[in-house]
Every structure is written in C-alpha cells, then in structure tokens.
Structure 1
C-alpha cells in the first residue's frame, strides 16, 4: 500500500496547526432546534436593500456618463439612510437630456467627478442587495464606472422591480410597467420626475408594494424571490412544503407519487433549495410540470460531498428507472464490441461484458458501435462474416476476400497462426495503441478530401472518432477497475477535504472533514467502514461505466490529491485521448485536422 501526504501536518498549507491525530472526528451537526441560514433562507424583512437610480448623459454606458446618483437604504420597510449627489461629466450634457431631467451644465459645474463619488457609493451599498427599476441599465453604468476608475467590479446581488412587476401584475392593474405608472398603483409619497433621489424613493414604494403581493403568493425569502416566476401555477406553488425538512447540503432527492413510485431522481449541492425551486421557479423542461403535478412526497439522502451524490443518483436511476429521468435509466443497454473466442475471432456486438475477453466500449448506441467496427475493419482485415469457422472444414470465401479486405481464413488461405496476427493487432489498437487504425483512417480522410468527396471524408472521420471514443472509455475504465483500492481527497472552499475511497472502480466510501482539522482520522475511519468490493471479469465488473467515469472525472479534477494507492493506476502512453485531441483541432471542410 503506497501512501501520499495531503500536506505536511494535514489540512491545507495555510491551515492552523492540526489537532493531535487519533482524535475521533467531531460531529458536524448543529445543536438541536438550531437552523442554519442556508436552511431558512434570507427573509425579505431581514435583508438590507439599497434602491438606486442614476441620471446619465445617454443610454449606452460605453459612451455616456453618470450625472446624478440617488440611493435609499431600507430594511424591514424602514428607511435607514439616503444618498444623493450630482456628478460632473467630462463632456457637456446633451440638450435633450437637460430637458428630460432638468440637469444642466451649470448645475454640475461644481459637482465632484465620478472618481470622487464612486467610493462613497460603493461603501454605502456594501453588503446590501441593489434594487433598481430596469436594473441592467443602472448596473451597467455602475460597472462601467468601476472599470474606468480602476475599482474592482463588485458581484452585486440585485433585484429588478421592472422584471418583478411584469411577473406579479396583470395588464388590468397597470397599463404599463413604467416607474410612474407603478408609483401611482402603489401610492408613493414621492412622484418620479427623472431626478435620481426622487426616482429612488418612488422605487422604494414600488418595491414594498410588490413585496406585499409576493407575500400572498408564499414568497418570503430572497432566494424564493430570485427564482420566482408567474408561470408557476398556484397548485404547484402549494406543494412547496414538500421541501420542508430536506437536507441543506449535498445529496440526492427522489420525487414519488401517491403509491410511492419514483418519478424523478436528481442531485444538488443544496437539496432543500433545489427541491423548493421546482415549486417556486419557472422550470424550462416542460415534462417536469407533469412530474411536479404527480408528486406526492420527496425523499432525500444526505451525502458527504458532490461525488457521492452523483454516484448515488446514477445508482438510484438505474434501480428505479423513474419515468421522468432521461439519462442513466438503462445501463444494461450499453453496447460493446467484443473480439470473440474462437479459432478465427471476429468483432461481435454484445450487451453484456462478463468474461476476460477483449472489449471495446461501452457505446451509447448500436450505431456508434457499428461505426467503430467499420474503422477497425478498414485498417485490420478481420473477418466480417458471422459463421463459426473451423480449420478442418473450409468454406467458400466471400467478396471481401477478392477486395483484399479479408485474408479468407474460411477457405484455408490463412492459417489460424497467420490470422492471429490480425487479432493481435486489433487487441493492441483497442487496449494500448490505436495508431494502426488512426493512420489508415487519416490517410483515407486525406485522400477523400483531395478528391473533394467531403461527405465521404466526414463519414470516415466519424468512424474514427467512434473508435477512439470507445477505446478511450475502455482504457479509462480498465485503469480504475484494476486498482484494488485508492483513497483521494479534494480540498473544499471552507478549508476541509472531500474524501473518497474507490475499490475496483466503485465508490466504496465517502466523507468530508471540517475546516482546518487533521484529515487522517477521517481517512482511517472511512477506509475502515468502506464497502467491500470484490473484483470480477469484464471491463466494468463492480460498477456501471457511468459511475466509474464520474469517479475518473473527479479524480482528474484540479486540486484532487491521491492519498493512498493499492495497485497501479496508469494509462497507455499512446492512449486514444491523444488522437482525439488532434482530431478536435480546427478542421478543413472535409473534417481532417489542419
């Protein structure tokens, strides 16, 4: 067993000194009855909003400037502070803007420049949610001002009262969604008049009026409001209680009907927030509307980290085959190409891979497998007939022998020993070095392109890519499936570690450590409690191909560290991935790489 250090002393390089190893991993659960902010969401009455309005010299932030900033800070319906200032632009104010806003060059002659005003506004708005009527306009000017003044552009959370009004109000209530019309609908003490502070005050009244309407629709948190859509039916919204009590961290959720049948399986880094979104936000997938209507309850499984959640999702979909899931439902339908075990082996398309034979794939469809087989047959003269041949009983050769596409072992022109060279070449191309197939295919693509037969060249390219993707998948799966056990860890943004134990390509154990603690007790515990996985024959004996590929993708992500390895994890030097990257370079009309 080889063992690798996460970092000297455990934890992240910048972590504080680790506690003594051997200590039992502490509990990560909150005290009974105490809910996290993530679990509750941010209630609208507790959020600080800064309602802002700008007056400018034009409509495009790229070639116009700010002439006035007005902002009102509110929380819980109360005004906390106000800010208003004129801003002197570098260029004169256009006459039609002066007529619209009443702001003239004389008024801004002694006003500060934007580089003096902007830091004050950024401090005023820090830690708040920005609100504006037609927010893209105002935020666009603010971001442009930050760039021009050399300030980092804040990642502002924001609300757009124009967008919210369009979702909440009907045309019967307001003829349009202009600020003046809405200020009359939700009686504002200040009438908007194209001056920044007055318009900001009017927008505050509109915001509070919209909040009152949204409260009647069950939207009480900022998260609900950000995902709110009028397209969600009242019946759908009434089911949002199904998310109550679900985990707030990573995990898998299962929608079930009244009979307990699984309708849909999904995964999320925050299960409760994701499930709530099905009942409060507009779902772009139309089929999910029927799923939500049929749902009677939602079950969830809390997971240590995202990888465990993804793996559990794949397993549950394969087990329950929920009608509203489209992918991963039928792993048993995966297609392989197998080199048969007989005196004159050939390529055979099979569904199951449960012996020690040589396989290519799995492929997602029979069509993809046929394309890959055509690429191999183009380069290697394996027989394509399906008759079982015997050296003692010759049979008549087919037309492929006359075309030079087959050595005709059927009529004795090739002995089993001579034919075995072709089989060995095919096995090598599949498992280690695909160069023989690649060279023949690329030469054919170039020849067809020279003859301006671009459609035929594209077919040849598709055959080659199908073969290479199948070989790459096989090589990745085989590399992981032969490892008896490996433990790996990925750093978390909080300063902890997501730890996974993989045995023969299957996720056998998972855990996540708290921030800035010695990870070794956790590694020891998860390895001791991990699932026992025994090796078997075939390219995917212990897990589905999709599960093993999820694990491979996680292992090769940036920052993941190999903690321990029992066995050898390696890929061929001349692996298929090399040629795939070459084929995906910029291409000429024939599809051949430049």
Structure 2
C-alpha cells in the first residue's frame, strides 16, 4: 500500500453516501393544536377540549377533535368564554383515554400552537400524571414566529384574533379548540411564506425562531446554498482563504446553515462567523472517514477556532532515558519512542504516572546524568536513607539499580502489575488512616499508568498490522481499510461487501515508509473496530492485546472515570 496521504484530499474517493436527510418545510408535517381548559395552571386546571389540524405542504391531511371530561365543574367565566358547559362534557372521555389517540395522531410531526408553552404545559402534565411518555416533538410557537413575520404597525399585538385579521383567515377564532387550530394553521403557513426570505426553508431552520442570529451574520446563510445534504467534513474559510474552523456532520447543508440560523451563543463561534466568507465541503463515504478527515485537516492546517487536535506534537509519552542509570522523563511528539508509556491523555497524567512509578519501583528522581563510576565527591539524597532509591549516584553498578530499571521497563512496555500491587496497598493504608485526599491522588496516578499502558498496547498492536473490517448500518454496510492504525480507504455499500473489501485490501499493501499516524486517528480507528457488531474480514499481521497485560487492571481507570463523572454532576447541580 502507499503511505497515508500527505494531504487529506488524497484519501480514497467516496463511493456512496448516506441518503439526504434535510427536510424542506414544504415536505414537513405539522400538527397545529389548541386546547380549552378550566384555568391557566396545569397543576390546578384540566383540559376540556382538544382540537388539532395536521398539514403537509399547506394541505390539510387530517383533523382531531374531542371534548374532555375535566373531572370537576367548569368555572362560569370559562363557560362564558368558550361556551363549553358541564353538560357538554358529562359524556366525554377523560384525558387518560384521549391521550393515546392524540399522541398517535401527533406522531413525529412538528407540534405547533399559539402560545405553545401553555398548550404543551397541559399536555406534558397530563402525560406525566397518567404514565405516558412525552414524545419530545419539535415545537413551534406561532407567537414567536409572528414576531419575525409581522411588523408592529400591521400587528400591534400577536393575539390569535389579530393575526387572523392580518392574514385574512377563512376561519375566525372563537375559543373553540378545532376552530382555533384551523385558524392557527392558516396563519402558520402564511407566516412561513414570509420567513422564507430570512433563510427559514427547512425543518432544522425552525430552531432559529427562538434565538435569531444578528442580521449581518444571518445574511451569510447563502454560503450553505451549494452545500450538499450529505455526510462529510466542512471548512469555514476567512477573507484570505485561511481555514477558520473544521467540523463534521451527517448532513453538511443542515449543519452549515444552522450556524447562521440557530442563534449560536458561543462567543468564539460568533467571532468565526463574522470572519467567514466561504465554506468548503468534502463528502465522505462513512462516518469514520469524515472523523478521520477532520482530525487530519485540523492537524495539518491548525484552524484558529478549533481547539481539539490542534497540537498533535504536544502528545505526552513517559519513557526511560537512554543512559547507564536511566530515569523517567516525558517526551512529546506525534509518535512516542519504542517502549514508551502512552500516549498519555494529558501532561498531568504523565506527571502522575511518573510519580507513581518512582514511588512504587524506586526509579531515581534526580535529573543529573550520572557517570558509570560515581565521583568521589558524590553525595546521595534523602531517598537513599529512606530506602526509596538504590542510589546509583554513590553506589554505581553495585547498587542493584539495574533490577529497578528492568522493573520499570516491564511496567512501561508490558505489565504494570508490580506497580499496581504496591500502590494498591498504599491506597488501602491511606484510606484506613482517613487520608482520603492522598488515597485519591495515588488512585489517579495508578490509573494514569494503567491507562497509558493499555493505550500503548492497543494502539501499538494496531500499528503492526493491516485490517479490513465491516459494520452493518441498517441496509447498508460500512467497509474500511486500515494500515498501521491509519485509515486508507472506506466504502458504503448495500451489496458486494467482499468485492469492496478486496478493493480496499489492495490499498493496504506494504509500499514505502509511512509517515507518522496521529494518535487521535488511531483512537478513532481502534474504537470503530472494537465496537460490537464490527466484523473483521482481513487481518494481515497480528492484532491482539496480551492476556497478562495492562487490561487486567482496567478497574482503576474505570474508578477514576466514575469519580470524575460524579464530581462533574455535583458541580453542575
């Protein structure tokens, strides 16, 4: 195979793509609902009538109407307003009998209401009270829509009766559920015609109604006009052609358009949009390919507004130095030296791992390069007296430090069990003495060692072989080819999986010397291959992790991760 592409554009051309998933408003199903109730609070009042109109493309395709027995007398003021009396609802079904039919009628349509929080509040409360799951449909409030679609001069207020007059609806609102829903439906479609000029033309654009973008940014939505509704990678470019931001999406057009219509609140993203003058896209065959392309583009071009993956050369590794009496040190780079622990997840993890290794094995902590034969003037530090270091600085080859170095190499390269055993006892001692802070520090340190060793073994094994694998996705199959941990090709097919695999396998033949593979790319590939349901079609070389390796101690990594999750939840609450 040829080496991984020097430029991302050289990656295998896409063979097929996912089906388009952008939905124009002309094809969107809306259910406009209106409720009549005995009061204004869902906790103290009840529903007396539900009316709903289902439309698509401006045409009515269904209606739903029923009176509801509220289970209590209707206040006289409500009777005067709606005309619904206790006699009218005496034979009507209770809300628990009505909800299943209404939820079925609603389906996955966009739910529309005038002053939507009122109607959805009652419906949610009813579902909660009677054990029905609220479906969580997208909601459009015609009051909010009216603020975008009408001026103060033509509609000084946004009452339903006022909007009906502005748009000349055929149905006049009269505080009966179905009639009000019909009027609201007419108003909805008239207003959607108006807001199309603001770039609200697809279902995903409706979210912008709640938090609109500034006009100067919204006008840039024209950038999305030529973007395909396909999965892949998008790149915003600045006035000098520089790459500002790289991202991925299953629907490129919808994602790019959302930047200009969904009221983005992140300051950095708004600053990026102020500068953006264009957007480039690359359609990808598979989601994995899109993710890999994104990582490579970020590493290659280092866009100003991408934080993740921007500095791969800063990846930390823990290694033993090349000297007679080696010590532990941190090295940085895209790939670590042979026998190094890592890639570490952070510089902090590298430091924690070194501290634990030094304490558990007795690796020297001094940074001086020691001579083979100690100088006559050499003096040992306190660690010698504490029995925590063999002190080769004064004892030389007779110190027994060679055994320490061998134990350190074993922990770094293969099995950290010795370190885990020592630190486990230390943690138990500190916990018994109620020194939980120190116990937690040691737990984090041994977790960093185990995690670094596990990653070294997993990614190292992947780097020594070539793999062609396939994963089902509905009626499609994603086929990918990997060499030395780098993605070299992918296809998405409905049939002919083995034919695709054979084509991709040809790309993994060993030709030339490969360039370094980004750690994040190897992680993406490794997670994809290890996901349940993935099937290996070809493995050239050996892909495995040692049974007696670091994976035996994964519980320490899990414990630290669980602790961080709980801490994060407590901070948010």
TM-score by length of 1: 0.81
Match of 1:439 in 2: 421
Match of 2:263 among 275, 282, 287: 282
Match of 1:524 in 2: 502
- The one-character-per-residue Cα deviations of 1:152-178 (angstroms, maximum 9, x if unpaired) are 866645423244345666878767655
2:349 equivalent to 1:373: no
* Cα distance in 1, alignment partners of residues 221 and 387 from structure 2: 68
Match of 2:540 among 566, 571, 591: 566
Match of 2:390 among 401, 407, 429: 407
Match of 1:44 among 19, 25, 29: 25
Match of 1:270 among 236, 251, 271: 251
1:180 CA drift (Å): 5.1
Mapping for residues 21-170 of structure 1, pairs under 5 Å: 28=16, 38=21, 41-57=22-38, 65-77=46-58, 79=60, 82-90=63-71, 92-93=73-74, 98=79, 101-114=82-95, 117=98, 121=102, 125=106, 128-139=109-120, 142=123, 156-165=137-146
1:325 CA drift (Å): 0.7
- The one-character-per-residue Cα deviations of 1:96-149 (angstroms, maximum 9, x if unpaired) are 655664433211122345576556645655574332224355346556767888
2:449 equivalent to 1:467: yes
Match of 1:250 in 2: 231
* Cα distance in 2, alignment partners of residues 94 and 429 from structure 1: 78
Match of 2:367 in 1: 386
- The one-character-per-residue Cα deviations of 1:446-488 (angstroms, maximum 9, x if unpaired) are 3334444343333333333333332232222212112x21111
Which range moves more in the overlay, 434-443 or 109-118?
A: 109-118
- Give the direction of change, closer, same or farther, for the CA distance of 1:419–1:560 in structure 2 (3 Å limit): same
- Give the direction of change, closer, same or farther, for the CA distance of 1:509–1:43 in structure 2 (3 Å limit): closer
* Cα distance in 1, alignment partners of residues 157 and 389 from structure 2: 76
| Ranges in structure 2 where 5+ consecutive residues have no aligned partner | 1-13, 568-573
2:483 equivalent to 1:506: no
- The one-character-per-residue Cα deviations of 1:367-421 (angstroms, maximum 9, x if unpaired) are 33222111111101111222222333443322221222210111126537x3222
Q: What SS does the aligned partner of 1:254 have?
A: strand
1:554 CA drift (Å): 1.3
Q: What SS does the aligned partner of 2:226 have?
A: coil
- Give the direction of change, closer, same or farther, for the CA distance of 1:529–1:570 in structure 2 (3 Å limit): closer
* Cα distance in 2, alignment partners of residues 550 and 390 from structure 1: 44
* Cα distance in 2, alignment partners of residues 257 and 131 from structure 1: 39
- Give the direction of change, closer, same or farther, for the CA distance of 1:98–1:426 in structure 2 (3 Å limit): farther
Q: What SS does the aligned partner of 1:446 have?
A: helix
Match of 1:548 among 501, 515, 522: 522
- The one-character-per-residue Cα deviations of 1:315-349 (angstroms, maximum 9, x if unpaired) are 11111011111111110111211112222111122
Q: Does the 8 Å contact 1:363/1:470 carry over to 2?
A: yes
Which range moves more in the overlay, 393-402 or 443-452?
A: 443-452
Q: Does the 8 Å contact 2:446/2:556 carry over to 1?
A: no
Q: Does the 8 Å contact 1:322/1:329 carry over to 2?
A: yes
Q: Does the 8 Å contact 1:505/1:543 carry over to 2?
A: yes
- Give the direction of change, closer, same or farther, for the CA distance of 1:365–1:542 in structure 2 (3 Å limit): same
Q: Does the 8 Å contact 1:72/1:79 carry over to 2?
A: yes
Q: Does the 8 Å contact 1:54/1:196 carry over to 2?
A: yes
The answer to which structure has the higher helix fraction is: 2
- Give the direction of change, closer, same or farther, for the CA distance of 1:264–1:361 in structure 2 (3 Å limit): same
Q: Does the 8 Å contact 1:408/1:414 carry over to 2?
A: no
* Cα distance in 1, alignment partners of residues 144 and 450 from structure 2: 48
- Give the direction of change, closer, same or farther, for the CA distance of 1:162–1:531 in structure 2 (3 Å limit): farther
Match of 1:578 in 2: 555
Mapping for residues 122-521 of structure 1, pairs under 5 Å: 125=106, 128-139=109-120, 142=123, 156-165=137-146, 179=160, 182-183=163-164, 186=167, 188=169, 192-228=173-209, 230-352=211-333, 357-394=338-375, 395-412=378-395, 415=398, 418-482=400-464, 484-493=465-474, 495-514=475-494, 517-521=495-499
Q: Does the 8 Å contact 1:430/1:471 carry over to 2?
A: yes
Q: What SS does the aligned partner of 2:188 have?
A: helix
* Cα distance in 1, alignment partners of residues 540 and 209 from structure 2: 50
Q: Does the 8 Å contact 2:17/2:284 carry over to 1?
A: no
- Give the direction of change, closer, same or farther, for the CA distance of 1:505–1:91 in structure 2 (3 Å limit): same
TM-score by length of 2: 0.84
* Cα distance in 1, alignment partners of residues 16 and 324 from structure 2: 61
User: Please, what is the CA RMSD of the aligned residues?
Assistant: 3.6
1:350 CA drift (Å): 1.4
Match of 1:8 in 2: none
- Give the direction of change, closer, same or farther, for the CA distance of 1:96–1:343 in structure 2 (3 Å limit): farther
- The one-character-per-residue Cα deviations of 1:277-300 (angstroms, maximum 9, x if unpaired) are 122222232111221222222111
